[in-house]
Structure 1
Amino acid sequence: MKRLISMAVAILAVALGLAFWSQDLQRSQGATGSNTLNFANWGDYIDPALIKKFQKETGYHVNMETFDSNEAMYTKIQQGGTSYDLTVPSEYMVEKMAEDKLLIPLDKSKLKGLSNYGASFMNQSFDPGNKYSLPYFWGTLGIVYNDKFAKASELQHWNDLWNPRWKGNIMLIDSARDILGFSLVSLGKSMNTTNPTTLALAKAKLDQLSPNVKAVVADEIKMYMADNEAAVAVDWSGEAADMMASNSHLHYIVPSEGSNLWFDNFVIPKTAKNFKAIYAFLNFMTDPKNAAQNADYVGYSTPNDAAKKLLPKDVRNDKNFYPGKEVLDRSEVYRNLAPKTVGLYNDLFLEFKMYRR
């Protein structure tokens, strides 16, 4: 009898152990129920102090995973293996996800402070009426220069990059749309062109730039520029802000003929389950104080006008990070292109990188 009792106790202990182990495993996978917000975000793209503040104020736990490309995030949500409640795609990916029925429309009745967002950042072509998205951050593509080696007057236009003076001295961000994009702008063409002949011309012009290109890199570009390894770089405004914080000799310029104007946005994917947590978080991040704190930490431009007013005067008045209407009107938002065209952009860019002189 004692043996049977001992066996029963042992079985019960194992069962309890498995139950607790299962709960721990679920926590690690973000499947913890209605008190949890499963958030897929870009790396280092939110102030960790705000996550702690949200959890303390609301009682919701934030389980955050990161992704390094829109396409990687899209694939995970399309496959449906992880129940993300909230994610942050860029503008063209919002359009694609909506077309592919991967998004849940926003319930505007549950959102507070929508009037905090600037009118110019709402009702964009990629999501008319903001049916699916709320703006999170925005920015531009531009030129970073080091005043030890270059003057602002030498780099006011995209075509200035082709000056032989910059031989072996330009860093490019590893992004097909952006690098082919500025070449297109330099030719007076749209950054959203689907014309193969026009794209071939842009690639041919990039080939002429190759003697000036020191490297095509990803995140390392910030380290190289901060360490004075090159005179010039082409990168996004927020990355430029990070570089400038590390090196006072670095400056950022948006060419006057225009550039890419990009938006990252909160959306609710079809995998969402914890809607109370979702709307609590969206309202928390819409609060001007929280949005301003986040913009200060991340370094990108906030679309929240009420938050912008709380930023330091030198930040909110910096025309390179908060450019005027004349620059914005000449800039383009990337559209969701057909897979065949995306493939062409990628192939041409790969050829440029492989056969740089």
Structure 2
Amino acid sequence: MKKILAFIVCVLLLVGLAFGARYYLLASTGNTRESSKTLNLYNWGDYIDPALLKRFTAETGYQVNYETFDSNEAMYTKIKQGGTHYDLAIPSEYMISKMKREHLLLKLDHHRLKGLENYDQRFLNQNFDLGNQYSLPYFWGTLGIIYNEDTVSAKEVQHWDQLWSPQFKQRIMLIDSARDVLGFTLITQGKSVNTRSAADLAAAQGKLSTLMPNVKAIIADEIKMYMAQGEADVAVTYSGEAAEAMSHNSHLRYTVPSEGSNVWFDNIVMPKTAKNKKAAYAFLNFMNEPKNAAQNAEYIGYATPNKKALALLPKSIRNDRQFYPDDKTIAHLQVYDDLGQKWTEKYNDAFLEFKMVNR
């Protein structure tokens, strides 16, 4: 009996070791699934209509493994480190420049793409990806000012400089972003949001420090919730965040200062470690279809670069100049460049010092 029990114990141990080894191997490959019938998509949180993913699976047979990140830097780090095989990812313009330079992206085969003619030409061939060799537009938007019209008049927030007015003491929330906050401060001084001048950056940091009495909080995604709940009268945030807050509070309005701001682009790219290119191209073509792009834009709240999709949106959306500004406004908007590690750190350090004062 003892021999039998010992034999059973040995068998169980071997099975356990085998299972553990198998589990380790699966875990060590990362979370992405490797299958000819699976698309591994790496995206921002809540940045696509879930119904579209279901429709894509129904139409193509490809299951979607959807993973999320909360910053361009987190996405970049995970892809650079390897061990994952995302077929598509959705970074912002400056990060696309960085990933191109470091050979982390695959060139797109335009012969396998459908619907490129659907895009508004203004959002193609940008400096961060000339000829759209590595990316396709997904959403675009602006940095601006959201305010409660019950307590703030439109004329009081038409320019960035007005945020420094004493009347806004402890009434402003800022998005937690070095490039954005230093960017609008640089604009008030007539400088580029991409300056690599130590003098310009020091001057901007100095001016920004004088904004502190007016700052109630510096926060990230929660800014839309707080504004919707009336926790502040004014906030600096992105157009899509503003749109969501406005959908919950009819007293909120959004404006882009006439002297200029940032226009950002989130584009779809194919990391060099992509395993299922066939599924990736199927998804790109699926999202290029006007009806799908329109549904996604209506769900997310950001502006679509697909002109045929725009035509399908309700008039109340496509004619809203808060989120689809006219050409005159767009002409004054600036796109962020990849500043490189040295200058990125300088911006981050300057912003960190500003935030430390806020504490």
Give the TM-score normalised by the residue count of structure 2: 0.93
Tell me if structure 2 keeps the 8 A contact 1:207–1:356. Answer: no
User: Hey, what's the Cα distance between the residues in 2 that align with 1:356 and 1:76?
Assistant: 31
Of stretches 9-18 and 52-61 in structure 1, the one that deviates more from structure 2 is: 9-18
Alpha-carbon shift at residue 247 of structure 1 (Å)? 0.5
* SS at 2:244 equivalent: helix
Q: What is the identity, as a one-letter code, of the residue corresponding to 1:199? A: L
* SS at 2:111 equivalent: helix
Q: What is the identity, as a one-letter code, of the residue corresponding to 1:41? A: N
Correspondence list, 1:64-103, <5 A: 64-103=66-105
Query: Are residues 186 and 24 of structure 1, via their aligned partners in 2, closer, same or farther at CA, if it must alter by over 3 Å?
Result: same
User: Hey, what's the Cα distance between the residues in 2 that align with 1:28 and 1:69?
Assistant: 19
Deviation digits for residues 237-290 of structure 1 (CA, Å, limit 9, x no counterpart): 000001000100110000001100100000001110101100000000000000
Tell me if structure 2 keeps the 8 A contact 1:117–1:304. Answer: yes
1:239 corresponds to which residue?
A: 241
RMSD value, Cα:
2.5
Query: Are residues 12 and 335 of structure 1, via their aligned partners in 2, closer, same or farther at CA, if it must alter by over 3 Å?
Result: same
Alpha-carbon shift at residue 30 of structure 1 (Å)? 2.5
User: Hey, what's the Cα distance between the residues in 2 that align with 1:124 and 1:67?
Assistant: 24
User: Hey, what's the Cα distance between the residues in 2 that align with 1:256 and 1:234?
Assistant: 15
User: Hey, what's the Cα distance between the residues in 1 that align with 2:28 and 2:56?
Assistant: 22
Deviation digits for residues 275-332 of structure 1 (CA, Å, limit 9, x no counterpart): 1100000000000000000001111000000000011101101111011111111110
User: Hey, what's the Cα distance between the residues in 1 that align with 2:142 and 2:259?
Assistant: 13
Query: Are residues 312 and 17 of structure 1, via their aligned partners in 2, closer, same or farther at CA, if it must alter by over 3 Å?
Result: same
Asked if residue 225 in structure 1 is aligned to residue 264 in structure 2, the reply is no
User: Hey, what's the Cα distance between the residues in 1 that align with 2:80 and 2:217?
Assistant: 34
Correspondence list, 1:258-337, <5 A: 258-337=260-339
Q: What is the identity, as a one-letter code, of the residue corresponding to 1:47? A: D
Gaps of 5+ in 2: none
Asked if residue 36 in structure 1 is aligned to residue 20 in structure 2, the reply is no
* SS at 1:206 equivalent: helix
Structure 1 stretches (4+) deviating beyond 4 angstroms? 9-28
1:113 corresponds to which residue?
A: 115
2:159 corresponds to which residue?
A: 157
Tell me if structure 2 keeps the 8 A contact 1:173–1:221. Answer: yes
Q: What is the identity, as a one-letter code, of the residue corresponding to 1:136? A: Y
Given candidates 139, 146, 149, the residue that maps to 2:148 is 146
Q: What is the identity, as a one-letter code, of the residue corresponding to 1:261? A: V
Identity of aligned residues (%): 60
User: Hey, what's the Cα distance between the residues in 2 that align with 1:187 and 1:129?
Assistant: 33
Alpha-carbon shift at residue 29 of structure 1 (Å)? 2.3
Deviation digits for residues 315-354 of structure 1 (CA, Å, limit 9, x no counterpart): 1011110111111111100001021110010000001111
User: Hey, what's the Cα distance between the residues in 2 that align with 1:27 and 1:36?
Assistant: 16
Give the TM-score normalised by the residue count of structure 1: 0.94
* SS at 1:355 equivalent: helix
Alpha-carbon shift at residue 34 of structure 1 (Å)? 1.3
* SS at 2:64 equivalent: strand
Deviation digits for residues 207-245 of structure 1 (CA, Å, limit 9, x no counterpart): 111101100011111111111111100000000001000
* SS at 2:190 equivalent: coil
Alpha-carbon shift at residue 81 of structure 1 (Å)? 1.3
Query: Are residues 346 and 19 of structure 1, via their aligned partners in 2, closer, same or farther at CA, if it must alter by over 3 Å?
Result: closer
Query: Are residues 354 and 276 of structure 1, via their aligned partners in 2, closer, same or farther at CA, if it must alter by over 3 Å?
Result: same
* SS at 1:81 equivalent: coil
Deviation digits for residues 23-47 of structure 1 (CA, Å, limit 9, x no counterpart): 9979992223111111110000000
User: Hey, what's the Cα distance between the residues in 2 that align with 1:11 and 1:34?
Assistant: 34
User: Hey, what's the Cα distance between the residues in 2 that align with 1:187 and 1:69?
Assistant: 28
Asked if residue 352 in structure 1 is aligned to residue 354 in structure 2, the reply is yes
Deviation digits for residues 55-106 of structure 1 (CA, Å, limit 9, x no counterpart): 1111101101100111111111111111111000100011110011000000
Tell me if structure 1 keeps the 8 A contact 2:28–2:83. Answer: no
Given candidates 180, 183, 193, the residue that maps to 2:182 is 180
Tell me if structure 1 keeps the 8 A contact 2:30–2:83. Answer: no
1:58 corresponds to which residue?
A: 60
Tell me if structure 1 keeps the 8 A contact 2:174–2:236. Answer: yes
Query: Are residues 208 and 20 of structure 1, via their aligned partners in 2, closer, same or farther at CA, if it must alter by over 3 Å?
Result: closer
Tell me if structure 2 keeps the 8 A contact 1:26–1:32. Answer: no
Gaps of 5+ in 1: none
* SS at 2:268 equivalent: strand
Tell me if structure 2 keeps the 8 A contact 1:243–1:250. Answer: yes
2:50 corresponds to which residue?
A: 48
User: Hey, what's the Cα distance between the residues in 2 that align with 1:97 and 1:80?
Assistant: 13
